[in-house]
Amino acid sequence: MIPKTSTSSPSSSASSAAPQMMIMPGLTAAPQQPPLPLQPVQQQPQQPSYVPEICIMMHAFGDAPRPSVETGAVVEDITREQMRDVLTAAAAVAARRLTTSAAVVVSLEDLVFLMRRSPVKVQRLVKYLSIRDASSVLQSVVPGGGDHLGESGRRAKRCREFLELIDTNGLLVKVSRTR
């Protein structure tokens, strides 16, 4: 049953304080308010997207041949968040290490200090640095590959020397020597 609407004359509806609009029979709504002025939206700088590479890695680790782009975007967001957290913690360690009011610079030692409680992470870091050192040596041997000869073995060696300083039970040094 449809409710009856008011059958008043046009003169009586004009005298009402707030005109109402008919949405559906029996339902009324207030007239639309004027739109609010637009405020400028601050855009963040565009970050590079690694979603295609992440999808390729997901396939390499056993996912479907064409993983979902949305899943790759979620993995990218999680990775960015974790990297931001690690670098924030490393910056805090670097700030505590500094005695002057100089700018905070995160160094390799700060990252190793954060990982000192996880021998597996330390082992992976040293292995990665060793591979990077070997890669830089190879690039210096290849004509036009760059002049990295002075850096050969420096990163992994620096990491091992720092581990010797902070390691109390010898476990981290032992793990860093294994390949």
Here the tokens at position 166 are 């902070």
pLDDT of 164 higher than 90:
no
pLDDT digits (tens, 9 = 90+) for 150-159: 444 688 888 8
H-only helix segments in 51-118 = 51-60, 69-97, 108-115
pLDDT at 149: 43
Phi, then psi, of 148 in degrees rounded to 5: -110, 15
pLDDT at 24: 47
Q: Report the alpha-carbon angle 68-43-54, nearest 5.
A: 25
pLDDT digits (tens, 9 = 90+) for 31-54: 555 555 555 656 667 788 899 999
Query: In the chain, where are the structural domains located?
Result: 49-105, 107-179
pTM: 0.57
pLDDT digits (tens, 9 = 90+) for 43-98: 667 788 899 999 999 999 998 999 999 999 999 999 999 999 999 999 998 888 87
Q: Can you list the pairs that 84-91 forms with residues at least 24 positions away whose Cβ atoms lie under 8 Å?
A: 86/111, 86/114, 89/114, 90/114
